[in-house]
């Protein structure tokens, strides 16, 4: 009777090994689920970035507002009839530039 019990315990252990530690075991499945969740988060972030870039491209293709905004911010350009005003503040003898102000001439 004792021999049968030992054989049954050994067979149960042999059957359980692939379930827990084998190639398709529970531990591997949990690891793959964690990797899948991480990849899905990365994909969602990249999709959001791509959507923002697509919207910017579409805006640049169809409207002039985005082009004008970039020209003002990055190139320092102004429209005809506008006056560029730069305000310098005296601090310790050093000159620091503050945000430029653009005003339109009267009558334009």
Q: For each of the chain's 108 residues, which pLDDT tens digit applies? A: 899 999 999 998 888 887 777 777 888 889 999 999 999 999 999 999 999 999 988 887 887 777 788 888 888 788 888 887 778 877 755 555 555 556 665 555
Q: Which residues 6+ apart lie within 8 Å of 25 measured at CB? A: 18, 19
Q: Which residues 6+ apart lie within 8 Å of 71 measured at CB? A: 77
Asked whether residue 86 is domain-assigned, the answer is: no
Domain containing 69 equals 2-78
Asked whether residue 106 is domain-assigned, the answer is: no
Asked whether residue 84 is domain-assigned, the answer is: no
């Amino acid at each position: 009777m004792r021999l049968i019990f030992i054989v049954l315990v050994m067979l149960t252990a042999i059957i359980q090994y692939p379930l827990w530690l084998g190639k398709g075991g529970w531990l591997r499945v949990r690891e793959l689920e964690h990797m899948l969740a991480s990849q899905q988060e990365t994909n969602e972030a990249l999709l959001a970035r791509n959507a923002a870039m697509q919207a910017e491209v579409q805006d640049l293709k169809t409207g002039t507002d985005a082009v004008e905004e970039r020209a003002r911010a990055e190139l320092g350009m102004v429209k005809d009839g506008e006056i560029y005003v730069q305000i310098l503040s005296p601090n310790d003898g050093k000159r620091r530039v503050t945000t430029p102000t653009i005003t339109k001439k009267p009558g334009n």
